[in-house]
Structure formats: C-alpha cells, structure tokens
Structure 1
Amino acid sequence: MARGFSEFKYMTFDVVGTLIDFEGGITTCLAGVAADAGVSIDGEAALALYRQARYMPDAGLFPDDLVRVYMVIAPQLGLPAEEKYGVRLRDSAGAWQGFPDSAAALAELAKSHKLIAMTNARRWALDHFEKQLGSPFFATFTADDTGTEKPDPAFFQKVFDFVAARGDSKDDILHVAQSQYHDIGISRTLGLTNCWIERRHAQKGYGGTIEPERFTVPDHHFTSMAALATAVRESLKERT
C-alpha cells in the first residue's frame, strides 16, 4: 500500500501542466495568431506539432524556446512564419492561467505540508506562475537554479540536497505531477512516493507533453488538484 499523506513533510510539485494550464495558454495564443492571419487551427493538432518541435535536439530552455518552436510549427499550421509571433507565444507565458482548482488546493495543502516547486521553466516564468497560484511555495527550483531539466536525476538531487540540509530526506517527500515522462517515471526510479494528477483524463493522448517509453503506475492517482486536497484533508481527519 502507498504511504499515507500524513507521513510526508514536503510535497514537491511540477508546475507547468500540473498547476498551470500551459496547453490552454499555447493554443489560445496560437488561435489568436491564426485569427489575425485569417485562418483557423485545430488545438490538438497544434499541441502534437508543438510536442515534436519542443523535444528536438536543439531545444532551448522553456519558455524561451517557444520562439524557435513557433518558427518550426507555423508553416505546418498555415501561420505566418515571422519571429514576432514566436516572441508573442513566448511572452504569452506571463499570462498563462492556473487550472481553476490549483490555487485553492495549494493553499489548503500548504497548511499541512511544505510545498516545493520543481519546474523546467526559467525563473522569469515561474515568477508569473507563482502569482497566479497565490505564492504558496516554501521553496522553488527552476531550470536556471539546477542547470538541467527533469527527468534528469540531477534536478531531483538538488531538491534532495535542500531537504537534507534541513535534516530531512527524500522519504519525507511526496512528488506530485501530471507528466509521466518528466516526473512520474523518474520519481519512481529515484525511490520517491509519487502522485499522478491526470489532467488529460478526459482527452486522448499526451497533448503537449512527451509520451513516456512506458507507463508508470503511480502510488497515488487523481484527476485534479482539488481531489488531492480533499484526500489529504480526509486523511488528516482520520488521524485526529
């Protein structure tokens, strides 16, 4: 059986895709560009193209890399291949919204656990995301801080070192994320207890997130942050 929620001191969170609706942000921006150009696009098709372009060998750090990504996918979507629109896509990250349940769930979870953000986004983007989420984090780690991106184990090691400096260990961490590829698989390999937030439970495929080589059955599984917060609340009630 998976360990109970009260057994953890920390919850670490993937941000983009788990807490912030990056797919909605990208497709909304691309739809705006399309409208300006007098064409229309299919959102899921755009996300599939985005996914392919985002994980090319010459990819840069996110979301700065969206300028390059746009120039790759624009011709395939019938959009104008002009860098200014790539810049528009990159800068749209500053206005991406949290999922409707993210801020409230995080605020509740912060009452019982120390919350740590672990994002492949750069610091400037996380600064915007944090405001969207109500600034709930005890600590934050970005690609700028770690020098790498998940699923690189080195990213996780930075967090392990942080909690170790506080006299704790990875056994005190529950890792929460939507990406099987970036988070759930590697967290299992590293011996973390994990919680999969299946944001695309009502949709087919992996959308804008790279598909994992193999599916990892998570320790905990919810389709929303609200459901996780409820489960934690009920678990804590049972102990009192």
Structure 2
Amino acid sequence: MTFRPKFVTFDCYGTLTDFDMAGATRRIYGTLLDEARMAQLVRHFAAYRLDEVLGAWKPYAEVVANALERACRNNGVAFRPEDARRIYEEVPSWGPHPDVPAGLARVAEEIPLVILSNAMNSQIASNVAKLGAPVFKVLTAEDVGSYKPRMKGFEAMLDALGCGPEEVTHVSSSFRYDLMTAYDLGIRSKVWVNRGHEPANPFYEYREIRDISGLPAVFGL
C-alpha cells in the first residue's frame, strides 16, 4: 500500500530552489582563478558552510562570511567582506529548479507541504513565492535557533505540526544536511532527490527520484 503522509516536508535550498552558491562565487572570483583553483574554492566554501552551521545559531550572513573567509584563506585568495555580503544578498533572487513547480503543485493538491530551511526569514519568503505551489508552513533556522543537520529544527517542525516522525515524508537532495538526521529521528518515509550533490547511500532507507517531477508518483498521485 502506498504511504500517504499527513505532511510532506522539504529542504528548500538545493532541493527546491536552485541554490546557486557556486555560481555566485564564480561571478566574483572567476576572473582571478583558473578552473582547477576555482572548483577547489567552491568545494571548500561549501564544506566550510556545513562546518559553520554545526555550532550555536548565528545569522546566515555570518555563516556565509565566515565560510567564505576560511575558504579564501585556504586557497590563497584575498577575502573582502563585501564579497560575502554580495553572495548572501543574491539568495532571495534565486528561483526553483525547472522541474519543481509542476510536480510540487500536484502534490500540494493532496498533501500539505512544509519547508524546513537553513534560512533567514528575510530570505526565504522570496524563494518560497517563486516555487509555484502553496506551502502550508515554513520554518527557518532563524525561527528555531538551530541549523540543519542538527536535530533541533526537525524536532521543532514535528512539534509545530503536531505529529510524529512516522507521519511525514521528508524530501531532500542532501544526506548530510537532512536525510541522515531524518533517519536518526525515526522519519521512516524519506525521498532523496538525486541532483548530483552527493553520492547515493542506501543505508538511510529512502526512495530515490531524479527530480520533483517524480514526487507525485511516490504518493500514487
């Protein structure tokens, strides 16, 4: 029998929104570095962003600035605070992956959609408005005082929804930010959107889809 959750919960950036941190970084440093060094800077910037969110909550502008400064230092690139601010301020302008609006809207006809995002409230509203589907509830790291992959945000989300982990399906393109934590918290129904960010890891017991156009079929829609 096809599982029909009370809510479908989502990561937003990367999974739904085309999270163009790599493009933003290239737009600033692309003329200064050859391709090999540019690719390494992008990888390090992503790794340091993950490291920055593992501690106590701080505004996402600080996460971006600290991570970029560390990545620049590691790669022998001059860091300027205004570059970090420019990247941070791009975030609300980013829209969804092309596959998102139609698939998301189809699911929303039958099941309420919820977003748990590592975002500031001032950022996320613009990104959610571009998704092309009604979202029942949005919770940000700013709301809950914690970033994923820490558990606090997931716990706050379940409390806000008044349901248990067995009653939701969580959808993400990231194991490290979302699906590992969801697994540890007992969210049995998980969907991995394989956008090429990370390799498959079947240990975490998920349904794999190529993009959001495949999500309605997960629920028999």
**TM class by shorter-chain length?**
0.7 to 0.9
Large movers: runs of 4+ above 6 Å: none
Determine whether 1:21 maps to 2:8: no
Q: Name the counterpart of 1:209.
A: none
Q: Name the counterpart of 2:195.
A: 199
Aligned CA distance change for structure 1 residues 127 and 82 (closer, same or farther; 3 Å): same
What displacement does 1:126 show?
A: 0.9
Residue pairs, 1:8-47, within 5 angstroms = 8-22=5-19, 25-35=20-30, 37-42=31-36, 44-47=39-42
Determine whether 1:183 maps to 2:155: no
Q: Name the counterpart of 2:82.
A: 84
C-alpha distance in 2, partners of 1:117/1:151?
14
Residue pairs, 1:55-70, within 5 angstroms = 55-56=51-52, 60-70=58-68
Find the partner of 2:166 among 171, 178, 182: 171
Give ranges in structure 2 of 5+ residues lacking alignment: none
Q: Name the counterpart of 2:214.
A: 227
Secondary structure at the residue paired with 2:90?
Answer: helix
What displacement does 1:226 show?
A: 1.0
What displacement does 1:15 show?
A: 0.8
Find the partner of 1:72 among 70, 73, 97: 70
Alignment identity in percent?
A: 21
C-alpha distance in 2, partners of 1:135/1:66?
28
Give ranges in structure 1 of 5+ residues lacking alignment: 207-211
Determine whether 1:216 maps to 2:214: no
Determine whether 1:52 maps to 2:39: no
State how many pairs are aligned. Answer: 216
- What do you get for the CA RMSD once the two structures are aligned? 2.6
What displacement does 1:40 show?
A: 4.1
Cα deviation 1:147-169 (Å, max 9, x = unaligned): 112222221121221222xxx43
C-alpha distance in 1, partners of 2:98/2:76?
32
> Which stretch has the larger CA shift, 112-121 or 95-104?
95-104
Aligned CA distance change for structure 1 residues 77 and 132 (closer, same or farther; 3 Å): farther
Secondary structure at the residue paired with 2:95?
Answer: coil
C-alpha distance in 1, partners of 2:11/2:43?
21
> Which stretch has the larger CA shift, 56-65 or 41-50?
56-65
Q: Name the counterpart of 2:136.
A: 138
